[in-house]
Amino acid sequence: MTTATVDTVIDHAYRRGALMVIACGFLWSLAGIGVRLTEEATGWHIVFYRSVGLSITLLAYMMWRNKGQVVTSIRGIGLMGFIAGCLTGASFFGNIFALIYTSVANVTFILSTAPFIAALLGRMFLGERVKKRTWLAIACTTSGVLIMVNGGLSSDGLIGMGFAFFMALCYACFTVIMRHCKNIDMVPAALVAGLTSMAFAALFIDSFLLPINDILIALGLGVVQMGIALILFIKGSRHVPAAELTLLTMLEVILSPLWVWMLLNEHPGYWTLIGGSVIILGVVVQASGTRRKRRHPAVY
């Protein structure tokens, strides 16, 4: 196979992975509209039933993909995969507690630091150098988030901001582990996350009885917004560097308020629309790049 052919194959794999990650961000953005449509479900209820839907989806996928060898698949992820699963499960709760103790503006801005954290961890542990294009895209998305939360940032709710940073850190670490274990099927790690978050949330629920509509919405979020999205994210992570993985999913930040606007007529505000446009610009800048084969550690 010639060098040109190898480069073409690598570019194709990168772009396919980038599209998977972008699709993941699209699906993650459905969380807000799903939560708004519930009536009586608490945050713990949503986490529990969403985790049930997530676990069922991943179990079905693993049984289809691995011909029923679920236990063997889980063992195959090793210690790093188990850690990745625990980190992901912990991040499911970080967002809830962050929103309880601080403003949405604070949470949104702090979560936008995930690409920076992933870039640093990827450089430290994987040797993935970050190209100028990626730093430019990170700057665009961060600027967009700042515009979206214009006037909403405050120093109140330090505990909530701590939870938000914890979630961003978990997400970035999960991303780096996915890259480190890119030759291993890490879907079982997401199953570990679903099972652990489901068990932990159950401890804080007095009654599991809810309107059937709420249960179906939460289960649907688990299947689509988490299950299918995580499969796409994990598969895409094999071909996309850590910094870019977290960056491409930032599409979630702008789409979340847009769904609520279009379906529930809640206008997100002009600053949100302007900031969202800047975020999309950053995602486009990154997604338009290609990956080339190098003899030295890859530069992205």
The region that residue 151 occupies, defined by phi over 0 for left and psi between -120 and 50 for alpha, beta otherwise, is left
> Which stretch, 4-8, 99-103, 208-212, has highest mean pLDDT?
208-212
> Which stretch, 58-67, 174-183, 274-283, has highest mean pLDDT?
58-67
Domain count, the chain: 1
Q: Is residue 225 in a domain? A: yes
Computed over every residue of the chain, the mean pLDDT equals 80
Task: Print the domain residue range for 43.
Answer: 7-287
**pLDDT tens digits, residue range 133-164?**
778 877 887 788 778 767 666 666 778 778 88
**pLDDT tens digits, residue range 264-276?**
777 767 777 787 7
Quick one: pLDDT at residue 298?
43
Q: Is residue 49 in a domain? A: yes
